Amino acid sequence: MDAMLIQAQPATATREFTQRLSATPRGARLARRLARYHLDSWGIAYDSELSDVAEAIVAELAANAATHGRVPGRDFEVRLALGVDTLRIEMTDTRTELMPPESPEPPDATGGRAGGS
C-alpha cells in the first residue's frame, strides 16, 4: 500500500499576547511597556511609527480601564494580536455593564460631538 504525503500550506501565524493586570496606574504603565516589548519581539521596532501608535492606544485604554473601569479587587486585561497586516488591541475593564445607557436622541439627530446645532 502506497502512502501519500500531502503537505499543507503553512498557516499564517497570529502572534498573541494576553495579560491580566491590576486596575491601578502601575498596571496601566505595565500594560504599555509589555505591549511595546512584545511588539518589538514580533519584529515591530521600538522606534517605529506602528510601535509608537500602538503604545499610545494601549496607554489610553489601560489608563481608562484603571481609572474609569476600576472595581476594587478586580483586574483588567490587555490583549494584542498581530496578524499578517493587522494589529488588534483589546482591553477589558472590570465593570460589568455590557452597554452604555441608551441615548434619548434618535440615531438620525444632528446633535452630538461632531454634529451641528
Give the model confidence (pLDDT) of 58-108 as tens digits: 999 999 888 876 666 678 899 999 998 899 999 887 666 655 556 566 556
Burial tier of 117 (Cβ tally within 10 Å: 0-12, 13-18, 19+) = exposed
- pTM of the predicted model, to two decimals? 0.68
Percent of the chain with pLDDT over 70: 64
- Domains of the chain by residue range: 20-92
The set of residues, in sequence order, having a beta carbon less than 8 Å from that of 14 and lying 6+ positions away, is 81, 82, 83
